[in-house]
A and B are shown apart, each in its own frame.
Chain A
């Protein structure tokens, strides 16, 4: 376990120190939630309705931002070779690395989504539930993005491929996370169910995607 913890901390440190940490996704998120009303229109009743969906969708896009570098940098500088030659199993290693990077880069997003939701007119409770839903969605989103990033590591213009591969797999998380906020807004008791479904998708992603990432890494190394 200490090795996995070391990998988690190291990847968080590398993402924070060398990759700008949370600055990129945070700036993107802030810019997007600021610009969206200019396109949708300033009517409060419209912003109130679209807020959960907008926040979840922007979070999805923010996660995709760093996916290309997650394994691409390691493939280029030889780190993946070294990881493959450790006694730690590659799926565990992939999980630690992906979650470490997600921890360093994505932790402000649920907070910003909560505040952004209230800026769009959401009452505090639905805004908090929306933020909680995004917090629960981050493991799934980051592992899906990591899987796509591992598949295209070292490929030119990999960002386009990552979007094409990852976005369809992110649809369930997007639906459940935004649904939690919407249900809380209208007083529908399905908000808890949506939260649990979001958590379930994340847990399933933790169980499955590390194996896919490991297989993709082995493929890229050969």
Chain B
């Protein structure tokens, strides 16, 4: 009962993601005020993210990195200010423009990698793209028929990253994307981020780790990372 339709797109028929440039999409935040309970996290924060850009959010635990990311995704309503994508309110655009990687991976243990990616590609509208090149780039193609519950934490993170890539959305919001990844995984992540930016995509990532992303801007929300 649980089997989704298998992805029957042959790799040679699939469009290559790398060959598809995004329409220019810019994210702007104006005068954001954020809080968690009684704690003020940010006041009058402006933020701009243009096509091809990357921003690394840093700061100590509780500085508000995740809250800012969730605000930019539209999950959290700011105390003041607004977020727009190409001049449109976030509520009208986030569902088509934002690829999200939270601090949890959004995987169901009983589903295989193939089923999980097929489902989200259908629901998030990533188009008819074979997942195999992306999985191969993340060194996960051999696990495609394995239940996600039987993958390691780092492997699950890679599958969640594959889902973001395959959503084919220009703005990526990543919360601790490299958390459980090993050195090779962080390199693969950096390669995918660079490929995404070269297509005109943009990335904001909250991180405690030093990520070697070329030309990424740093935004420190307080304290040391």
Contact = CB atoms under 8 A, between A and B. Distances in A.
B104 A78 contact: yes
A79 B123 contact: no
B75 A86 contact: no
Interface in B166-206: none
B4 A9 contact: yes
Nearest to B102: A78
Contact of B1 (A86, A104, A222): A104
B24 interface: no
A222 B102 CA distance: 13
A85 B98 CA distance: 7
A88 B119 CA distance: 14
A157 B73 CA distance: 29
Nearest to A73: B108
B109 interface: yes
Interface string A150-175: 00000000000000000000000000
A82 interface: yes
Interface string A1-42: 011001101101110111001000000000000000000000
A221 interface: yes
Nearest to B122: A6
A44 interface: no
Contacts of A12: 1-2
B107 interface: yes
Nearest to B101: A78
Contacts of A86: 95, 123-125
Contacts of A2: 122
- For chain B, the bracket of interface size reads 20 to 34
A124 interface: no
A7 B70 CA distance: 24
B102 A17 contact: no
Contacts of B9: none
B14 interface: no
Contacts of B107: 77
Contacts of A81: 73, 75, 100, 102, 106
A222 B76 contact: yes
Interface in A175-198: none
A222 B70 CA distance: 8
Interface string B97-135: 011101111111111000100011011110000000000
Contacts of A78: 102-106
A79 B73 contact: no
A43 interface: no
B159 to A, nearest CB: 12
B146 interface: no
B94 interface: yes
A123 interface: no
Contacts of A82: 100, 106, 120, 124, 163
Given A2-B122, A12-B2, A222-B75, 19 more contacts: A3-B122, A3-B125, A7-B123, A10-B2, A13-B3, A14-B2, A14-B111, A16-B1, A17-B2, A18-B110, A78-B104, A78-B106, A81-B73, A81-B106, A82-B124, A85-B73, A85-B98, A86-B123, A221-B75
30 contacts: A3-B123, A7-B123, A10-B2, A10-B4, A12-B1, A13-B2, A14-B2, A16-B1, A17-B1, A17-B2, A17-B110, A18-B108, A18-B110, A18-B111, A77-B105, A77-B106, A77-B108, A78-B102, A78-B105, A78-B106, A81-B75, A82-B106, A82-B120, A84-B74, A85-B95, A85-B98, A85-B100, A85-B124, A86-B125, A222-B77
| For the complex of A and B, 4 pairs with smallest distance between CB atoms | A13-B2, A78-B104, A18-B110, A78-B106
